[in-house]
Homo-oligomer: A and B are copies of this chain.
Amino acid sequence: MGNSGKYIFGVDIGGTTVKLGFFDREGTLLDKWEIPTRTEDGGSKILPDIADSITKKIDEKGIGTEDVAGVGVGAPGPIDNEGVVHRAVNLGWGVFSIKKTLEDILHLPVMAGNDANVAALGEMWKGGGKGSSDLIMVTLGTGVGGGIITGGRVLTGVCGAGGEIGHVHVEDNEEESCNCGNKGCLEQYTSATGVTRLANRKLAKSDRESVLRGGEVSAKTVFDAVKAKDTLAMEVAEEFGKYLGNGLAVISSVINPDTIVIGGGVSKAGEILMDYIRPYYEKNVFHGSREVKFALATLGNDAGIFGSAKLVLDAVL
């Protein structure tokens, strides 16, 4: 590579929109915008649309391609270290090289990675994990995503499935299946849907009083109820904390991170989450990994564009 361009594009492909960011090398986000994700025709229009949008932005900024160090891309699927995606169901993609396809259109260096892994890199660079070199990020959204950085580099794994924290097995006695087909995955208890499920199960089991009864049950209302000292909600939070604390303890015992970043919709509950996670984590983690900093994610939906820009920076430097 060795391109010395001053600017980098960071791209985060989602199922409905593609987020794009225009950065300088220091990681200042100079501009950001979105385009729709056109998933028709096996998603064959997605990369040309992105190339088109980047070309227009280069013109708009009055710069040339020689001023651009490269383009980083995060996408929802397993992507290996060569930039090859191994099926991305949400985008209609099969197996092909994102890197090569986009390089052929743009004539710029391209790096690609899994969206959750790339978001972890973004949080390490400019977010809740700033200054860390060994980090676990867990995103508690509709599902549970994860990304792991070790020695400053994304843990990709052999086919891009590295960092799949959401599908770590944490419960032998589960009867419902996870979206992945297994039973007892971390995602089933700690995603927004998982917390709701835990609460509904507990509400159904007894007639105990709770502010959750009768109203809408969601991760937000559960943690609001926890803050209001609702006993039933606090028991739900305890279960949530047990699963997440134990799961993170196992992962930390082999990763030995300095920081664990918690992001996603559920993390909006704030620091109170740590009160429930930390006791289980500290009880079961190997002592060499006990001294870890728990931090909330700070980049929100921009983590992906920051991280994909950083992928480029790490490759061209």
Give me 28 A-to-B residue pairs in the complex whose CB atoms sit less than 8 angstroms apart, sorted by A's number.
A134-B157, A146-B254, A150-B162, A151-B153, A151-B156, A155-B155, A157-B255, A158-B256, A158-B257, A161-B288, A162-B254, A162-B255, A164-B253, A164-B254, A164-B256, A164-B288, A164-B289, A165-B254, A167-B286, A168-B250, A168-B254, A169-B249, A169-B284, A180-B286, A181-B287, A182-B286, A184-B284, A254-B254
Residues of A whose CB lies within 8 Å of any CB of B are 78, 81, 133-134, 146, 148, 150-151, 153, 155-165, 167-169, 180-182, 184, 246, 249-251, 253-258, 283-289
Q: Which of B162, B165, B253, B287 contacts A168 (CB 8 A)?
A: B253
CA separation between A251 and B286, bound complex, in Å?
A: 14
CB-defined contacts of A169 to chain B, threshold 8 Å: 246, 249-250, 253, 284-285
How many copies of this chain? 2
CA separation between A146 and B161, bound complex, in Å?
A: 21
Contact B158 A258 (CB under 8 A): yes
CA separation between A304 and B71, bound complex, in Å?
A: 41
CB-defined contacts of A182 to chain B, threshold 8 Å: 283-284, 286-287
CB-defined contacts of A133 to chain B, threshold 8 Å: 158
CA separation between A288 and B157, bound complex, in Å?
A: 10
CB-defined contacts of A164 to chain B, threshold 8 Å: 253-254, 256, 286, 288-289
Of all chain B residues, the one with the shortest Cβ separation from A259 is B158
CB-defined contacts of A161 to chain B, threshold 8 Å: 256, 286, 288-289
Q: A159-B256, A164-B253, A169-B246 are in contact. List 20 more A-B contacts (CB 8 A).
A: A78-B288, A150-B150, A150-B157, A151-B155, A155-B254, A155-B255, A158-B258, A160-B288, A162-B254, A163-B254, A164-B254, A164-B286, A165-B254, A167-B253, A169-B250, A169-B253, A169-B284, A180-B287, A251-B254, A254-B255
| Distance to closest chain B CB from A160 (angstroms) | 7
CB-defined contacts of A250 to chain B, threshold 8 Å: 168-169, 250-251
CA separation between A85 and B161, bound complex, in Å?
A: 32
Of all chain B residues, the one with the shortest Cβ separation from A178 is B286
